[in-house]
């Protein structure tokens, strides 16, 4: 995975975090990011990230009863998320008081 400070790597981290909580489609991920951040990423931003995460073996597609593709974390993705989370906390932990939150 790219460095967490790299915006594309940061988006990959966010997508992994979201998918770790429940299986989601690209559209659901886009909507969740919009709900949390106020701006909606374009499909041209989200789908290349999903493709890269899938290509690296971090996520895999699942199909529900319809045509919607959902994604779930693989065991490799869970390990990568643990590494990325630790790295994120290490990088930003000293700023926790500024943001009023803890990692």
For domain 7-99, give the fold.
Arc Repressor Mutant, subunit A (1.10.10)
Q: Is 24 exposed, middle or buried (0-12, 13-18, 19+ CB in 10 A)?
A: buried
Q: How many CA atoms lie within 13 A of 68 on its CB side?
A: 12
Query: At CA 78, angle to CA 77 and CA 82, rounded to 5?
Result: 115
Could you report the average pLDDT of every consecutive run of 10 residues in the chain (103 residues)?
52 94 94 88 91 95 83 95 86 66 50
Domain boundaries, the chain: 7-99
pLDDT at 96: 60
At residue 69, the 3 state secondary structure works out as: strand
Q: What is the pTM of this model?
A: 0.79
């Amino acid at each position: 995975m790219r460095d967490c400070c790299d915006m594309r790597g940061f988006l990959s981290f966010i997508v992994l975090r979201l998918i770790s909580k429940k299986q989601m489609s690209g559209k659901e991920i886009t909507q969740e990011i919009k709900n949390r951040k106020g701006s909606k990423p374009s499909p041209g931003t989200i789908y290349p990230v999903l493709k890269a995460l899938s290509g690296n073996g971090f996520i895999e597609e699942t199909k529900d009863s319809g045509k919607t593709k959902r994604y779930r974390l693989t065991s490799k993705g869970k390990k990568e998320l643990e590494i990325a989370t630790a790295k994120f906390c290490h990088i930003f932990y000293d700023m926790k008081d500024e943001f009023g939150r803890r990692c």
